[in-house]
Amino acid sequence: MRSYRIPAIPSSEITPEETYVNRRQFIRAAAAMGIGMAANHALPSVVRAQDRWPQGKKGPYDTDEKVSTFQEITTYNNFYEFGTDKADPAKNSGAFKPKPWTVRVDGEVKKPASYALEDLLKGQTIEDRIYRFRCVEGWSMVIPWRGFQLSTLIKRLEPTSKAKYVAFETVMRPAEMIGQRRPYLTWPYVEGLRMDEAMHPLTLMVTGLYGKELPNQNGAPLRLITPWKYGFKGIKSIVKIRFVEKEPPTTWNIAAPDEYGFYSNVNPDVDHPRWSQKSERRIGEFLKRKTLPFNGYADQVAHLYAGMDLKRNY
């Protein structure tokens, strides 16, 4: 398998850009003082939706931190299938067709088949969860996801005793996903979890955000979220789920194994070779904040890695 290392991507696209972030902060500040009011009036329904969110009682897994705005969540993204700039996914994903959608399930499982997404969703308990989302480049958000626990789907599919890992694969459509026409990564995008990680109640198969269907730029129509891991583990537009006995390959580990490990747990004590992970900048804020171990979910997930060297198993 041919792989391409990170230098194939301009460094400005994958490292924290102070100038770029500061410019965005200036624009937001200007809008707050009335300079950008015309643009704000163009999105009245979005603003009202933000003002109402979240509704009702928060669940046991929700963070109580301020939720990022719908505009921030849907216009500042990593989705390299649509380009490497943070604005590219929103700009370039309009032609992507998330319906109809089929997911192939195979490997060490008793119910292998190609499932229409509607069939996978039947009987699932769809819930809203507010999770911290931490990206390896040093930025973060708080996102109100809508989805269902991956564990419920796994139980329904009945993996065999040989299934130790769950592997995922993104759709391959270079006609609709212009980033796949360039070899800065090995396509299609692949990811994986250890079975106990996949079965954890924090792990979601996401179908929406902000109470709406998942936008194309955020991984429509089906993506993965493991909130204690860096964002690149959250594979998007999933078309294949495979149950396997051995650790599966993952896209960023193929591209740069010395920079992106299989586990990818948020760990402020393990720096990326080219930048520190000790702090992060929440999109919409100016000052940085301290990065929390396991992205703040240590009480829920640290036991999964008991006895492991988390600097070695990064």
The model's pLDDT over 221-244, given as tens digits with 9 standing for 90+, comes to 999 999 999 999 999 999 999 999
Contact partners, residue 132, CB within 8 Å, separation at least 6? 63, 65, 140, 141, 142, 227, 295, 296, 297
For 262-288, what is the mean pLDDT?
A: 95
pLDDT of residue 53: 58
With bands split at pLDDT 50, 70 and 90, how would you rate the model's confidence at 1? very low
27, pLDDT greater than 90:
no
42, pLDDT greater than 70:
no
Q: What is the pTM of this model?
A: 0.85
18, pLDDT greater than 70:
no
For 107-120, what is the mean pLDDT?
A: 97
Contact partners, residue 22, CB within 8 Å, separation at least 6? none
Q: Cα angle at 280 between 274 and 286, to 5 degrees?
A: 120
For 151-173, what is the mean pLDDT?
A: 98
Contact partners, residue 84, CB within 8 Å, separation at least 6? 9, 10, 13, 14, 179, 184
The Cα-based distances of 146 to 8, 155, 209 in angstroms read 34, 20, 5
With bands split at pLDDT 50, 70 and 90, how would you rate the model's confidence at 55? low
Q: What percent of the chain has pLDDT over 90?
A: 80
Q: Which residue has the higher pLDDT, 130 or 23?
A: 130
For 122-140, what is the mean pLDDT?
A: 95
Residue 18 CB-density burial (10 A; 0-12 exposed, 13-18 middle, 19+ buried): exposed
Mean pLDDT of the chain: 87
pLDDT of residue 54: 58
Give me the CATH topology for the region 6-303: Sulfite Oxidase; Chain A, domain 2 (3.90.420)
pLDDT of residue 57: 58
pLDDT of residue 7: 41
pLDDT of residue 33: 37
With bands split at pLDDT 50, 70 and 90, how would you rate the model's confidence at 107? very high
135, pLDDT greater than 50:
yes
User: 90-102, pLDDT tens digit by residue?
Assistant: 999 999 999 999 9
Q: Which of 33, 221, 60, 62 is nearest to 132 (CA)?
A: 62
For 59-77, what is the mean pLDDT?
A: 94
For 131-153, what is the mean pLDDT?
A: 97
56, pLDDT greater than 90:
no
9, pLDDT greater than 60:
no
With bands split at pLDDT 50, 70 and 90, how would you rate the model's confidence at 60? confident
Least confident of 22-26, 170-174, 243-247, 265-269: 22-26
Q: CA-CA distance, 300 to 294, in Å (whole number)? A: 9
